[in-house]
Structure 1
Amino acid sequence: MSNIIRSGTSIIPAVIITFFLFLGMYWLVTSSTHDKIDDDDQISIDFSPVKVDEEINQKQRRIPKKPPPPKDPPPPPKMKVQQNQQVVNNMPTPTVPALDLGVGGDGPFLGGMGAGVDMGQDGGIIPIVTIQPNYPRKAQIAKIEGWVEIGFTITETGTVINPKVVKSKPARIFDREAIRAILKYKFKPKIVDGVAKTQYTTQTIEFALAED
């Protein structure tokens, strides 16, 4: 009998402990399951496409206005153009000794035409423009006189090309000024059957001092 009482006394606490253990385990399981359900309720995954509102900024292009037509430009200032003769007269005159051209042997003057002159149907060589040569300063101071014979070609337009000294006396003193002058001459072109032709001729330029 005593053994039975001892066994019952030991079983009752074990049953109580076992009951509370099961109760605790049940509570733990229930609590974790409830938390899991709550977590599942809170997590929501939506795989539906999301509409994104895109604002497209379109630049409006405005056609530029046409510029107004330019106003009429102001008239250019009027310039007074003087005649060539007046312009020449207003230019400073270089200091050149007084020379006479072809008058009584005083100063440089033109001699006659030499070889190559065609005195045919058009009356030969006719000078249109002649330039008075400068008297060399050294020759004037030394009172040297002389002459230069120049050969040259008259072109179809009447200008002078290829001037060369044929003879000169004294040699080389007046050559340079004579050639400078002859290059500025202009002649009436030679006409043959209505066509202008070149021709060769010579010209003598004499240099003489004025008599005191």
Structure 2
Amino acid sequence: MTDHQPWSPPPSTDREADDALMARVAGGDEGALRLIGQRHYATTWRLANRLLGSEAEADDVAQEVLVRVWNHAGRWTSGRARLSTWLYTVTYRLCVDRLRGRRHAPLEAAMDVADPAEGAADRMERRSEQQRVRAALASLPEKQRAALVLFYYEEMPGPEASAILGMNLRAYWSLLYRARGALERALTKGTTTGLLGRKP
């Protein structure tokens, strides 16, 4: 994927900074909330966009995540968990609520930037493959979809992804294995190496 940097746990200084900001938010500091938004809005928006397939809905979810931060900052316990993990968890749950309210929920993955040297036929073939993958992802249950998005798109390590989905690591690897198989079965033709090249 070329539209983002791989996810990685923030260093301890970032964790301490997040904890300090949450303490300020708990005291009613709106400026601290804005700083949390600057630090984490893009990652929560990106996850929501990949799960929901809608930039507008991703905006709504990312804004709602900040509302949750404002409302629950007083209950935040420093050092217990990373703020980024909690924000991903809230984002995932909000997306699941929206997905369950739909009859059909296409997954809109971000398009790669077009190569100026790429011919029209090559671009059409690449986009067609991306559309097949998006359609196949959209056909999966939301938890399988989330497992694939977190691991392959966000390149998140298993322990963090399993925590976000509320399951133990062994159960997460099992879910990811089933999700990968379901996705491969849903793809009627073509290669899946663009998404499934990373090995658990």
> Between Structure 1 and Structure 2, which shows a larger proportion of strand residues?
1
Query: Do the two structures share a fold, i.e. TM-score over 0.5?
Result: no
Higher share in helix: 2
Taking structure 2 as the reference length, the TM-score comes to: 0.22
* Structure whose CA Rg is larger: 1
The TM-score, its normalising length taken from structure 1, stands at: 0.21
